[in-house]
C-alpha cells in the first residue's frame, strides 16, 4: 500500500465509539436502546466488572430499539449493560494455514490455541457468482465411490444433496469422499452435530489422511442458533476463498436441515410468523442464498455435498423439497438397503445427477442406463421372486435381471476403506453391463 492509500485509509477511520444500553432480554433475544447500527453488524456487549465482552449480531429492530442475538451463551448480561457498535459485519480469517485445522463457527481454532499466522480477512457473507460468469460443468470429478462415480457421475462445481434419515451412513459416506476424491482440498462443516460425534467423525470417518487436506468447521447443537448459522456461512466463505485462488474445492455440509432449524429459531425470536411446519419465511429466503454460493466461477470450482435429514424418511417435507429444487442432483440413502447390509446405501432408482449426461460419453451413458433398467426390473418383481411366486420364463426382462442381480449387488457394495478409482469403476461398468442389449 502506498503513502496516499495509507493516508486515505487513516482519514476514513471512524474515531468515535457508539454505545447503547441493554433494556431487556427475552428468550434468545437481547434488546437495547441504541447504538446506531445496521442489520448484520457485529456489536460487543460489556458485562461489567469481569471486563468480558460478548459478541452479538444485529438481527432486527423493534421501533427504535436494536435486537441483538449473541454468539455465545447469555451469561452476566444485565439491564444497563453497554452495547458497543463496531459498524462492520463479522469477518473471518482465511489462508493456506487453515488446512488441517478444526475451527469454530467464526473461524477460530476450536482447541483454543492462538490464531494462525499468514491469514487475510475475508467476508463471511458474499453474493453468489454472477450467472453469466459461471462456466458450464463439463468435467467429472473422481469421488472414489464406485456407485456414484459410475452411475451418478458428479461434475466439478456440481451441488448435490445427500438425503437420509438418521443413522443411514451420511457421515461415513462423507468421510469416504473426503479421503478419496481428487479435489485439491475439502472444507467440511459440521452444523448442529452432537458434541460426541465431532471426534468420531474426525478420527474414524475422516482419519489422518482426510484431515491433512481438509478444513473442518464445527458448530455443535448446544451452541446458540446464530453460531450454527455462522458455521455454515464461515465454511462456505473459506471454500470461496480457495476457489478464488483457482482451486477445485470439495465443500461438505452436515447438515443443511440443522442450518434451517437455526434460522427458524432466529426468525421466531424476532417475531416472524411461522409458516410451513413452523419454518419462517426467512428460512426459505436464506437457503438459496447459501446453496447458490457454491458451484463454478471463472477462477475455480466448489463441488458441494449438502446432507438433508428427512424426518421419518419423508423426502417431501419442506426443507427436503426446497433443497432438492435448488441443487443439481440428489443421492437418497435408503434405510432398507442399509438394513440389508448394502453400503453405501444409495438408492440408485431414487437418485439423480442432473449434469451426468453432459460429462460422460455415450458408451458410459448407455451402460449406466442398462444397469438402471436391470435393477428396476428386479426391484419391481422382488416380492414375487422372494416368495417364489415368479416363474422363470414369464418375462425376459425379469429373467435377465435375476441373472444379473448378483453382479449388480457386488458392483454397488463397497467397503469403507476401499478406494475405487474413477477409471476402474467405469471400466467395470462397461465390461459387465455395457455389452448387453
And the C-alpha cell for 74? 447469555
Q: Is residue 162 within 8 Å of 321, Cβ to Cβ?
A: no
**CA–CA gap between residue 310 and residue 165 (Å, rounded):** 5
- pLDDT recorded at residue 1: 54
**CA–CA gap between residue 155 and residue 141 (Å, rounded):** 5
Q: Is residue 429 within 8 Å of 153, Cβ to Cβ?
A: no
Binned at pLDDT 50, 70 and 90, residue 193 comes out as confident
Whether 387 has a pLDDT exceeding 90, the answer reads: no
Average pLDDT over every residue of 168-187: 92
- pLDDT recorded at residue 160: 97
Residues β-bridged to residue 65 = 33, 62
Say if strands 18-26 and 102-103 run parallel, antiparallel, or are unpaired.
Answer: unpaired
Residue, of 193 and 8, whose pLDDT is higher: 193
Give, as one character, the DSSP assignment of residue 334. Answer: P
Binned at pLDDT 50, 70 and 90, residue 209 comes out as confident
Per-residue HEC secondary structure of 341-396 comes to: CCCCCECHHHCEECCHHHHCCHHHHHHHHHHHHHHHHHHHCHHHHHHCCCCCCCCH
Determine whether 5 is exposed, middle or buried from the number of CB atoms within 10 Å of its CB (0-12, 13-18, 19+).
exposed
Binned at pLDDT 50, 70 and 90, residue 6 comes out as low
Q: What are phi and psi of 354, to 5 degrees?
A: -75, -10
- pLDDT recorded at residue 17: 76
**CA–CA gap between residue 303 and residue 305 (Å, rounded):** 7
The neighbour count for residue 386, using CB atoms within 10 Å, is 9
Q: Which of 95-99, 276-280, 306-310 has the lowest mean pLDDT?
A: 276-280
Report the candidate in 141, 147, 184, 153 with the shortest Cα–Cα distance to residue 169. 147
And the C-alpha cell for 331? 443421492
User: Which of helix, strand or coil describes residue 147?
Assistant: helix
Phi-psi region of 248 (alpha: psi -120 to 50; beta: other; left: phi over 0): beta
- pLDDT recorded at residue 7: 62
Q: How far lies 383's CA from each of 97, 114, 377, 393, 395, in Å?
A: 55, 60, 12, 17, 15
- pLDDT recorded at residue 181: 93
Residue, of 163 and 311, whose pLDDT is higher: 163
The kind and range of the H/E element at 406 are: helix 396-412
Whether 111 has a pLDDT exceeding 70, the answer reads: yes
One DSSP character per residue, 206-264 reads: IHHHHHTTEEEEEE-TTS-HHHHHHHHHHHHHHHHHHHHTT-EEEEEEE-HHHHHHHHH
Report the candidate in 251, 255, 252, 236 with the shortest Cα–Cα distance to residue 168. 255
Q: Is residue 185 within 8 Å of 215, Cβ to Cβ?
A: yes
And the C-alpha cell for 62? 423493534
Determine whether 133 is exposed, middle or buried from the number of CB atoms within 10 Å of its CB (0-12, 13-18, 19+).
exposed
Whether 270 has a pLDDT exceeding 80, the answer reads: yes
Average pLDDT over every residue of 223-252: 94
Q: Is residue 429 within 8 Å of 151, Cβ to Cβ?
A: yes
pLDDT averaged over the chain? 89
Average pLDDT over every residue of 129-155: 94
Report the candidate in 356, 325, 343 with the shortest Cα–Cα distance to residue 152. 356
The tally of CA atoms less than 13 A away on the side-chain side of residue 412 is: 24
Whether 13 has a pLDDT exceeding 70, the answer reads: no
Q: What is the pLDDT of residues 117-135, one digit of tens each?
A: 888 889 888 999 999 999 9
Say if strands 102-103 and 214-219 run parallel, antiparallel, or are unpaired.
Answer: parallel
Q: Quote the percentage of the chain above a pLDDT of 90.
A: 57
- pLDDT recorded at residue 4: 65
Q: What is the pLDDT of residues 322-360, one digit of tens each?
A: 999 999 999 999 988 988 888 999 999 999 999 999 999
Give, as one character, the DSSP assignment of residue 135. Answer: -
Q: What is the pLDDT of residues 394-433, one digit of tens each?
A: 888 989 999 999 999 999 999 988 989 999 999 999 999 8
Scan for cell 474515531, then name that residue.
Answer: 15
Q: What is the pLDDT of residues 48-94, one digit of tens each?
A: 766 678 889 998 888 889 999 988 877 778 888 899 998 888 889 99
One DSSP character per residue, 264-278 reads: HHHHHHTTPPP-GGG
Binned at pLDDT 50, 70 and 90, residue 437 comes out as very low
The kind and range of the H/E element at 408 are: helix 396-412
Binned at pLDDT 50, 70 and 90, residue 250 comes out as very high
Write the CB contacts of 278 (distance below 8 Å, at least 6 apart in sequence).
264, 268
Amino acid at each position: 500500500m502506498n503513502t496516499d492509500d495509507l493516508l486515505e485509509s487513516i482519514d476514513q477511520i471512524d474515531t468515535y465509539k457508539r454505545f447503547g444500553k441493554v433494556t431487556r432480554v427475552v428468550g434468545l433475544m437481547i434488546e437495547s436502546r441504541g447504538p446506531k447500527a445496521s442489520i448484520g453488524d457485529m456489536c460487543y456487549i460489556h458485562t461489567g466488572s469481569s471486563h468480558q465482552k460478548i459478541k452479538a449480531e444485529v438481527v432486527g429492530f423493534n421501533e427504535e430499539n436494536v435486537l441483538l442475538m449473541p454468539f455465545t451463551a447469555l451469561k452476566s448480561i444485565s439491564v444497563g449493560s453497554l452495547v458497543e457498535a463496531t459498524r462492520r459485519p463479522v469477518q473471518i480469517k482465511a489462508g493456506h494455514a487453515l488446512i488441517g485445522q478444526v475451527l469454530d463457527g467464526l473461524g477460530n481454532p476450536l482447541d483454543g490455541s492462538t490464531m494462525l499466522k499468514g491469514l487475510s480477512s475475508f467476508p463471511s457473507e458474499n453474493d453468489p457468482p454472477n450467472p453469466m460468469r459461471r462456466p458450464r460443468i463439463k468435467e467429472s470429478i473422481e469421488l472414489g465411490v464406485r456407485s456414484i462415480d459410475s452411475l451418478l457421475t458428479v461434475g466439478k462445481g456440481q451441488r448435490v444433496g445427500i438425503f437420509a434419515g438418521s443413522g443411514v451412513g451420511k457421515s461415513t459416506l462423507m468421510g469416504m469422499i473426503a479421503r478419496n476424491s481428487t479435489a485439491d482440498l475439502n472444507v467440511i462443516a459440521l452444523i448442529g452435530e452432537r458434541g460426541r460425534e465431532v471426534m468420531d467423525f474426525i478420527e474414524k470417518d475422516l482419519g489422518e489422511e482426510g484431515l491433512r487436506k481438509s478444513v473442518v468447521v464445527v458448530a455443535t447443537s448446544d451452541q446458540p442458533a446464530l453460531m450454527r448459522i455462522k458455521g455454515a456461512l464461515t465454511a462456505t466463505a473459506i471454500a470461496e476463498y480457495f476457489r478464488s485462488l483457482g482451486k477445485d474445492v470439495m465443500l461438505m455440509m452436515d447438515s443443511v436441515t440443522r442450518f434451517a432449524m437455526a434460522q427458524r429459531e432466529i426468525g421466531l425470536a424476532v417475531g416472524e410468523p411461522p409458516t410451513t411446519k413452523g419454518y419462517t419465511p426467512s428460512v426459505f429466503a436464506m437457503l438459496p442464498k447459501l446453496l447458490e454460493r457454491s458451484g463454478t466461477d471463472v477462477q475455480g470450482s466448489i463441488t458441494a455435498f449438502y446432507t438433508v435429514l428427512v424426518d421419518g424418511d419423508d423426502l417431501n417435507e419442506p426443507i427436503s423439497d426446497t433443497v432438492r429444487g435448488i441443487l443439481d442432483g440428489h443421492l437418497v440413502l435408503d434405510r432398507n438397503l442399509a438394513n440389508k447390509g448394502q453400503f453405501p446405501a444409495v438408492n440408485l432408482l431414487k437418485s439423480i445427477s442432473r449434469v451426468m449426461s453432459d460429462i460422460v460419453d455415450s458408451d458410459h451413458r448407455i451402460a449406466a442406463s442398462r444397469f438402471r433398467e436391470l435393477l428396476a426390473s428386479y426391484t419391481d418383481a422382488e416380492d414375487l421372486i422372494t416368495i417364489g411366486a415368479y416363474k422363470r420364463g414369464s418375462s425376459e426382462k425379469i429373467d435377465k435381471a435375476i441373472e444379473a442381480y448378483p453382479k449388480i449387488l457386488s458392483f454397488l457394495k463397497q467397503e469403507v476403506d476401499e478406494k475405487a478409482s474413477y477409471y476402474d469403476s467405469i471400466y467395470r461398468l462397461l465390461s459387465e453391463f455395457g455389452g448387453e442389449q
